Structures are given as C-alpha cells and as structure tokens.
Amino acid sequence: MFQRKHAMLFILLVKLAEGNKPLVSVSDLLSFVFKKKEVVSNSNQLLQQKQDLLLIGAGYGRTGTASYVEALKRLGLKSYHMKDGVMATQGHLDLWAQYAETQKQLSLGRDSNYTHPQLANIIDQISYAGFNATADVPAGLFFWEMMERYPNAKVVLTVRGKGGAEAWANSMLKTNAGFVATICTRLPFRWLSPTTKFCTFSKMMRRLQQVELDETTQLPFRESLLKSYDEWNAHVISKVPPEKLLVFAASDGWEPLCNFVSPVHPTIEAKCREILYSGESYPFTNDSASLQRTYAVASAMAAIFEISPVLILLFILLLISMRWGKRKID
C-alpha cells in the first residue's frame, strides 16, 4: 500500500481544490489511493459487539444518506455505508469486489431470490464489525437479502425530496458518476489495486441499478438514471411489507423517523423523546460541493498523467521502489 509521504506529488492540487476550507472528501481521495484504511470505531454507539441489523437502508446514494447517517448516529446507531463501511472497514472492499466477480459470472440479478454464500458472508461481516444499520449503496441494493437474514429489521427507503428524480439525476452526474468514471478509466487510478477493486463492484452496482453507460465517456445516460431511480423505489415499495417500511426524505425531519424507529430499541426511543421535546433540528449534511471538488482533483490528476510522460515514468519508478521497500521490510 502507498504511504502518506508518497502523496506529495498531488498536495498542490489538493490545496487548490480545498481552498481555505479543509475538505474531508478530498483527503479521503488521497487516503483511498495512497494508504490503508483502518477499521472504524465509535465509542458513542448503541452497542460495540456483534449485533443484528435493526434498520436496513434501501435508498440510492445522493438521497440524503449523509444526513440520514448523521441522524442514526445521533440515535446511537452505527451505519454501514460506502465510506465507513466498504472503504474504511478493513477487508470489506475485497469482500465486495470478490462477490461482484461471482455475481457477474452467475448473472445474478436483483430478482434472483438467491443469496449467494459470498453475499451471506458479507452480511454476517457487517454484523461482526459492529454495525446495526445500513445506508447508501452497495448495501442498500441487497435490502431483501438482509431482510431475510434479519426478519425483525425495519427498512428505510431514503428518497430525494424537492426535485425528485430530476434533482437526483443532476446530483449524480455532477458528483458520483463523474468521479467513478474518472478513476475507473483514467491514469493513474486504474493502475492501482484499491481502484480496480472499487471499480469491479461499482460495475456490479450499475448492473443491479440497470443503468446504461455512454461507451465513450462511461457516464450514465440521464434518461437511464431517471428510469433507474423511479423503478428502484417502486421495486423496494413492492417488496417490503408496508408496516416494515418508511419512505423518508431528509426534509421530513425527525418526527416520522423517530415514530418509525423508536420501537426498535429502548435507547433509541429515549433519544427520540429527547430530540422531539427539545425541537432539535434534523442534521443537514450537503456534501455535493465537496464531492464536486474531489471529482475536479481526480480529473486534474488524470490530466497531468495524460500530458506528462515524465510523470508517468516517475510514478512507475515510485511503484517499483515501494514494492522493493516492502519486500526488504518483510
């Protein structure tokens, strides 16, 4: 794995992207490319040992999931999502990439009604890592398999509030979709092991979401995104019993969420009473601007490599030196 000191080639670009305000997501980009992630821990969670899933998030990313994760944290729940689950929990990126390869070989669709042993293991590993809730993709794409494993869990379908599918598609094209297309198709990212693993399961997600990509840009077609969003939400609503499902937008605030999740655990019920009594505002975490700058940094890195053969050579030598150094240490 790369070490932090090897990121110096890109520090100037990062500083330009961050401006005067540090951006966690830009730092995450460097961390993703250049260093090993550690297991996430949080001492202020409901429980710290292995536990069952209490809440299953079935919504797409860019549907207020960042705010939703903060809300669940306030309630004492530990949410498994793309950042703190897949990328920051040791070994989980490998698990998802391996399952994605299997899923592709077996042509398993979202209506297969079959939980492959590798997916069953991932669901168990989520529990072993101390998570008791899920949000965002990729976990949300397997809400049904998680319901079968945890029949007492409730499901929250996060949706885009104002603007609906149109606003969601716009957000995806400006942030996630462009970033994924950049790191999965351009140098130096597609040379790196963590990136190839990430891109492997990203392709799986696109298949399950039934999103069509432009072969030239590898960006999703807008109409395909709109269709995917509407069809996925309808799919979740059709599969989950009404009494177990909450369709939730961040603009709905605390009350419907608390009414739905309070029966899950006495601690959650007590926290909800406190929140509703105090009039505390629902958390609002809008990371669009941060994600857009991360996308810009990735694009800038790729552009430099495309126009500078010398930098490519230096990068190759850097890879060789780090592999050699690792062997000497071992």
Mean pLDDT of the chain: 83
**Residue 292 pLDDT class (50, 70, 90 cuts):** low
In this predicted structure, which of 19-28, 52-61, 74-83, 252-261 has the lowest mean pLDDT?
19-28
Mean pLDDT of 296-305: 75
Query: Which range among 106-115, 210-219, 306-315 has the greatest average pLDDT?
Result: 210-219
The amino acid occupying position 19 is G
**Between residues 95 and 321, which one has the greater pLDDT?**
95
Q: Classify the phi-psi angles of 108: left when phi > 0, otherwise alpha if psi is within -120 to 50, otherwise beta.
A: beta
Q: Under DSSP, is residue 134 helix (H, G, I), strand (E, B) or coil? A: strand
Output DSSP code: residue 263.
G
Q: Where are the domains of the chain?
A: 1-36+289-330, 40-286
CA atoms within 13 A on the CB side of 55: 34
pLDDT for 23: 37
**Of the candidates 276, 277, 279, 275, which has an alpha carbon nearest to the alpha carbon of residue 74?**
275
Please report, rounded to a whole number, the percentage of residues in the chain having pLDDT higher than 90: 57
Place of tokens 């550690």: 38
DSSP letters for 192-234: SHHHHHHHHHHHHHHHHHT--B-TTT-PBPHHHHHHHHHHHHH
- On the question of pLDDT at 36 being above 60, the answer is no
Residue 105 near residue 99, CB atoms below 8 Å: no
The amino acid occupying position 324 is W
Q: In the chain, which ranges are E strands?
A: 55-57, 79-80, 133-134, 154-158, 245-248
pLDDT for 26: 47
Complete edge-to-edge strand list for the sheet that includes strand 79-80: 79-80, 133-134, 55-57, 154-158, 245-248
Specify the CATH number of the domain 40-286: 3.40.50.300
CA atoms within 13 A on the CB side of 319: 12
**Of the candidates 225, 86, 205, which has an alpha carbon nearest to the alpha carbon of residue 160?**
225
In this predicted structure, which of 125-129, 165-169, 269-273, 326-330 has the lowest mean pLDDT?
326-330
Output DSSP code: residue 281.
P
Rg of the chain over Cα atoms, rounded to whole angstroms, equals 20
